[in-house]
Structure 1
Amino acid sequence: MLQSWQMRKLLPKMTTFLLAALAAVLAPLVACSPGYSGPVESITIGSAPLESSALIYIAEERGFFAENGLDVTVKQYATGAVAHNALLKGEVDLAVPAEYPLVGSAFIKEETGVIATIAKSQYFSLVGRKDLGVANVADLGGRKIGLVQKTIAEFYFGRFLVLNGIDPSQVTLVNIDYTQSEEAIVSGAVDAVVSRPPYVFATIERLGENAITWQVQSSQALYAIITARNSWLAAKPELTRRLLKSLARAEEYLSQYPAESKAIVQKRLNLDDAYMTAVWGQNDFSLTLGQSLVVALEDEARWMISSNLTGETQVPDFSGYIYEDALRAIRPEAVNIIR
């Protein structure tokens, strides 16, 4: 039997041990407990089936949306531009386009804005046919080029021509959907196409040694942004914060578990290993609102004006189209907008 002096000596050690054991038991429970206890609310997000929406897929698969009281439905559209149009029609609550549709919205003063960038990507390519005489950039003059008009593909190609000393008026644009680009160039209906994965890979493979390819973005990233109607944002500021909090968790998970994150996206989009190897590194997945997005929007607006794609003559003030309050509330270091 322990003497009283022995008990007094052991008691502090036993207390420390018991507290440590209790902390070990409770830690997983605390870590797994949700930070939100209110009613579950529904959100519908319109998005093209692209890797640039990885943070959304990860948040859905790992239950980060559910942790924040969100029941999220992802509605698939052919392109981000189509998804943004669906947003304007009220078909979805949020959309994930590239930044280019927001420029068009700003020119006609639509009540919409961006709450975050979720990825920056470099995946658009220009593919030409050597046997049709397209062996160098200079050979593009006088040619028929297939691309999806009134999208960011048209901007990238137009700027690519200017940067390479070619007047855009010297080429003929043919409006072709990405799904039709392979057949269009193989059949000779066009001399070159501007396309993106997965379609561009099939096009290059089919043409074989007859294909010549250029990276048409000229090192300017595509910004995968989340857009919303201003009326929705005004009515749901707290919901917007919970959405971004979920995506921030997804970004942290991707950083800690890159292989598992890649597998989630691969399974979700039903992609093979070769495709994932080719495209995964073309994306920078991060939740931000940076001044570089504003610079890109202004650059694209100037191009639309010079290309007579709008009746406006002044670049819009894009500060009114960027809703930074929600992201600043949950991750202030991710916001870098000059006002």
Structure 2
Amino acid sequence: MPQSGRKAIWLAAGAVLVAGLAIGIWLGWRPAVSAPPALESLVIATNTDYLGACPVVAARDQGYFRAQQLHVQLQPHSSGKQALGAMLSRQADMATVADIPIAFAALSGTPVQVFGTIFRTSQDHGVVARRDHGIRQAADLKGKLIGVTLGTSGHFALEVFLNRLHLDTDDVQLRNYPPDRLMPALLAGEVDAVSAWEPFLGLAEQRLGATALRFSGQDIYESIYNMVAPSAYLRQHPQTAVRLLRALEQGERYCREHPAAASAFLKQLTPEGRKALLATWPSHHFGLELDQSLLLVLEDQSRWAIKQGLSSANKVPNFLDYIYLDGMKAVNPAEVTVIY
């Protein structure tokens, strides 16, 4: 073979070798493509009859949890206090709960943390009284027997309401009931009035008809509805919290933008009740946040619980210890206004 031919063959072989080395180097140095997270199952204890649970229900029903590789089971309860109890007894991984049970958990040193607020409203607490028990105006509650679930937001809201009337709990008689026993007690006439939240108040009004007299005030109490989990769970599953919050962000947006469809999960509503709820829908706040106001409310509620002898604690906790910031800082840092 002529020398020029051998030279051409060697040049071609060298080019192939260089190309092969280059491809090998590129394959060895290119970033590894991470596999999507495995589908993770978790249980959320929540009050599925409460409007504030809408972002959680929407995230499940609209597939937002599934899109984040989460298989979520909703465990129904009649109050946030019960939902929190289920979580603490390890029947659930997380819970939705208003502010008051969080304050009591902190007073007892229970290691739980709020990792997102999903709903606020000032219109879902109040008192429903029976006109046929001699109650025509709010002042007539003095001396009356009022059903309430002690240690809940209904209890706290009643205390604030009575203070506005220049009364306190010594001026009325309180009878403690589980949340789902309040309405039967009122309907049966066991009590003169009940202090509670929706949907119990609306259902009691519907059942009593003209006999019902409702008292409420938008400036008395704002319910702040939150996602909570054990502190250890959040430390061990930080990415689960992030994925869950991303799904809830879509869920709360769905609740804001599609009220008629979103309200369908409230099965107990009558057509009239649903119409009334939709009329007030814009006044309820669906939004994912961690706001400094939550800490201030928890501090006020803790002082109230200590003063009333509802807790054996003698000082207000540092509520920063009961807030988990990392999840929200990863998902929507602009909505984190907690001072830390």
Q: TM-score range by the shorter chain?
A: 0.7 to 0.9
> For 1:277-299, what per-residue CA distance to the aligned partner results, in whole angstroms no more than 9, with x for missing partners?
33352531110110111111111
SS of equivalent residue, structure 2 residue 290: strand
Structure 1 pair 186/44, CA: closer, same or farther in 2 (3 Å)? closer
Larger Rg: 2
Structure 1 pair 268/204, CA: closer, same or farther in 2 (3 Å)? closer
Structure 1 pair 285/317, CA: closer, same or farther in 2 (3 Å)? same
Please name the residue that 1:79 is paired with.
79
> For 1:227-246, what per-residue CA distance to the aligned partner results, in whole angstroms no more than 9, with x for missing partners?
10011001000111011011
Matches within 5 A, 1:1-339: 37-49=36-48, 50-121=50-121, 122-215=123-216, 218-255=219-256, 257-259=257-259, 262-267=260-265, 269=267, 271-280=269-278, 281=281, 283-339=284-340
> For 1:100-158, what per-residue CA distance to the aligned partner results, in whole angstroms no more than 9, with x for missing partners?
11111111111111000110122122012233222222222211101112211111101
Please name the residue that 1:4 is paired with.
none
Letter in 2 for 1:263: A
Structure 1 pair 63/183, CA: closer, same or farther in 2 (3 Å)? closer
- Cα drift, residue 168 of structure 1: 1.4
Q: Alignment length, in residue pairs?
A: 302
Please name the residue that 2:27 is paired with.
none
> More deviation in 236-245 or 306-315?
306-315
Please name the residue that 1:22 is paired with.
none
Identity %: 29
Runs of 4+ in 1 over 6 A off after TM superposition: none
Tell me the distance in 2 between the aligned counterparts of 1:253 and 1:207: 34
Structure 2: give runs of 5+ residues left out of the alignment.
1-33
Root mean square deviation, CA, Å: 2.1
- Cα drift, residue 272 of structure 1: 4.2
> For 1:292-334, what per-residue CA distance to the aligned partner results, in whole angstroms no more than 9, with x for missing partners?
1111111111111111111222111101100011101110111
SS of equivalent residue, structure 1 residue 336: coil
SS of equivalent residue, structure 1 residue 92: coil
Tell me the distance in 2 between the aligned counterparts of 1:213 and 1:290: 31
Contact 2:47-2:83 within 8 A present in 1 as well: yes
Contact 1:160-1:218 within 8 A present in 2 as well: no
Letter in 1 for 2:274: M
SS of equivalent residue, structure 1 residue 338: coil
> More deviation in 213-222 or 293-302?
213-222
- Cα drift, residue 225 of structure 1: 0.5
> For 1:26-81, what per-residue CA distance to the aligned partner results, in whole angstroms no more than 9, with x for missing partners?
xxxxxxxxx98221111110001122111111111221111111111111112111
Tell me the distance in 2 between the aligned counterparts of 1:298 and 1:181: 28
Letter in 1 for 2:109: K
Tell me the distance in 1 between the aligned counterparts of 2:327 and 2:162: 39
> More deviation in 93-102 or 212-221?
212-221
Contact 1:58-1:265 within 8 A present in 2 as well: no
Letter in 2 for 1:58: A
Letter in 2 for 1:292: S
> For 1:238-260, what per-residue CA distance to the aligned partner results, in whole angstroms no more than 9, with x for missing partners?
111011011112233444x424x
Q: Provide TM-score, normalisation by structure 1.
A: 0.83
- Cα drift, residue 268 of structure 1: 6.3
Contact 1:113-1:230 within 8 A present in 2 as well: yes
Letter in 1 for 2:71: D
Structure 1: give runs of 5+ residues left out of the alignment.
1-34
Q: Provide TM-score, normalisation by structure 2.
A: 0.83
> More deviation in 329-338 or 192-201?
192-201
Tell me the distance in 1 between the aligned counterparts of 2:217 and 2:113: 27
Structure 1 pair 253/183, CA: closer, same or farther in 2 (3 Å)? closer
Contact 1:45-1:94 within 8 A present in 2 as well: yes
Letter in 1 for 2:277: V
SS of equivalent residue, structure 1 residue 313: coil
